[in-house]
Amino acid sequence: MPHYFTVSTVSELVCLLVSFCLVNDRSLVWRSLILYMLITCLAEFSGVYIERTGSSNHWVYNILVIFDAGFMSLMFAHLFKRYEKSRFIIVGLILFIALYTYQLTTQGLFEYDNLTFASMSVVYVVYCLYYYLLLIRDEDYANIRYSPAFWWVTGAVFFYFGNTACNLFAYQFGDYKTYQRLSYTIFKILNVLQYGLWSYSFICKRWLIAKSNVSY
Amino acid sequence: MANSEVQRILLITAIFLIAPVFIVIYIFNYNNRKKRHILEKQQMQLSFESELAKTQLEVQEQTMQTIGAELHDNIGQLLSLTSLTLSSVELNNKAKARQKIDDSIDLTLRSIKEMRLLGHLLQGDQLVAVGLVEAIRQLVSWMERSGRFEIVYTAGDEIAANRNADKDLIIFRITQEIFNNIIKHAAATEITIDLDYAGGLLELRIADNGVGFVADEAPLVGHGMGIQNIRKRAGIIGGEAVISSDKGAGTQIIVSIPYP
């Protein structure tokens, strides 16, 4: 049982628990993040379980990447909606479908789809940076210290930027085994950062709901 | 895991996170600047509104003072004279009575004319209704009435089509201030007023052939205070006032305001 509780799974589990504070949120997109966290946790635990049985768990992550693309695109589309830039997401989705189909037909479901994962990480980083650009250009002031959207994007940018950088500089790590060991630990740190920031973002969202209820 | 490997991991992670951390710090700084900028804008808007209210009051006060003085010095005198003439009418002496009644009618007509001019002056106060060009025209008519000045007033047609009530009020107040200075200090006989609008810029040029002054030597009360007010008011609405004058060479004031 303790094998299931790794740094990554614990941070995801904590984030899932915190995400339940969005149950009463008015936005369906924000509420859907509970489902996303639930799927992520299930996938992670399944991955650990399958690994422990001695089989390859790559197919689990190959399926999870579909949910990643779906929920991340949904969330960014929701964030860009305020600036009427939601259509931007379609480009990313088309790219995802093309890459995923290509990988699926060439190497199947049981080989880890690194190409789609790495490419989508770049796409998410671009989304995050674009969100920051829109935020800067926005003439209205928002207190970003308590902005759920800002912290959610920041969580994503930390993880996907770190991931992209990790992929780009993989050759610097030495042999493949060292790369695997190093990148695994770096991913743990990135996971803690991402889910920590997402948890804070969910708490901020909860505060906003409470605040708006008080003001009404 | 060896110590050197932990250090390596931490170093690599830190390097990877430097860029996002800097981006977040930059956004925080930018956002704080945005907040300060919005607060400053609100502060400026408040001071603009307060200045506008002050200007409105000053315009009214100036108009009331003029009307008060006119009623006392001019219309009051005319009506007193009318009353005196009428009270001295001797009904027995029909020819003399006729003459006095005619004089009284003449005095009454002059009073009515003066009252009408005053009414126009009051209309000038209602800038929103009559517009800047007409309001300045009323001011000019009142100035001309004294007979002390020969005034040439020209205004472009485009101004009426592009109106900004707030700016009109301040420009009108500037005009009042300039006229006050001319009446009190310039000893001028000729005044030319030109109101032009071109390329989003409204230009008010007022020149007189008065005694002039050395700009740096203008005292901070009276004349100097008026000049400072003109510059300050033009600045409030994003414009500027250029004053050129010299002793014995008259004065020219050019007020340029982005308009509307």
Query: What single DSSP character describes residue B182?
Result: I
For chain A, say whether B8 makes contact (Cβ under 8 Å). Answer: yes
- Closest chain B residue to A179, measured at CA: B9
Q: Kindly determine whether residue B5 and residue A135, on different chains, have CB atoms separated by under 8 Å.
A: no
What type of residue is B100? K
Q: pLDDT exceeding 70 applies to what percent of chain A?
A: 94
Rg of chain A on CA atoms, in Å: 18
| pTM greater than the 0.80 cutoff | no
For chain A, say whether B30 makes contact (Cβ under 8 Å). Answer: yes
Which residue from B13, B17, B28 is facing A144, i.e. has the nearest CB? B28
For chain A, say whether B33 makes contact (Cβ under 8 Å). Answer: no
Q: How far apart are CA A74 and CA A87, in angstroms?
A: 11
Nearest Cα neighbor of B195 from B224, B226, B222, B172 is: B172
Which ranges of chain A have pLDDT less than 70?
1-2, 170-174, 212-216
For chain B, say whether A192 makes contact (Cβ under 8 Å). Answer: no
Name residues 129-188 of chain A within 8 A of B (Cβ). Answer: 129, 132, 135-136, 141-142, 144, 150, 154, 157-158, 161-162, 165-166, 169, 181-182, 185-186
For chain B, say whether A67 makes contact (Cβ under 8 Å). Answer: no
Mean pLDDT of all residues in B60-89: 83
Mean of the per-residue pLDDT values of chain B: 82
The predicted structure's pLDDT at residue A173? 66
- Closest chain A residue to B36, measured at CA: A141
Q: How far apart are CA B214 and CA B218, in angstroms?
A: 6
Chain B residues in contact with A154 (beta carbon < 8 A): 20, 24
Q: Mind listing the pLDDT tens digit for each residue in B226-241? A: 788 888 888 888 888 8
Give the DSSP H/E element, type plus range, for residue B207.
strand B201-208
Which residue from B13, B19, B34 is facing A186, i.e. has the nearest CB? B13
Q: pLDDT exceeding 70 applies to what percent of chain B?
A: 88
Chain-centroid distance, C-alpha A16: 13
Q: How far are the Cα atoms of B74, B108, B175, B179, B188 from residue B66, in angstroms, in the given order? A: 11, 21, 15, 12, 19
The predicted structure's pLDDT at residue A197? 96
For chain B, say whether A82 makes contact (Cβ under 8 Å). Answer: no
Residue B215 confidence (pLDDT) above 80:
no
Chain-centroid distance, C-alpha B227: 12
Q: Which two tokens stand for residue B3?
A: 């110590």
**Of A195-204, B156-165, B170-179, where does mean pLDDT reach its minimum?**
B156-165
For chain A, say whether B14 makes contact (Cβ under 8 Å). Answer: no
Q: Mind listing the pLDDT tens digit for each residue in B86-118? A: 888 888 888 888 988 988 898 899 888 888 877
Q: ipTM above 0.90?
A: no
* pLDDT tier at B124, thresholds 50, 70, 90: low
How far off is chain B from A124, nearest CA to CA, in Å?
A: 13
End-to-end CA distance of chain A: 47
For chain B, say whether A189 makes contact (Cβ under 8 Å). Answer: yes
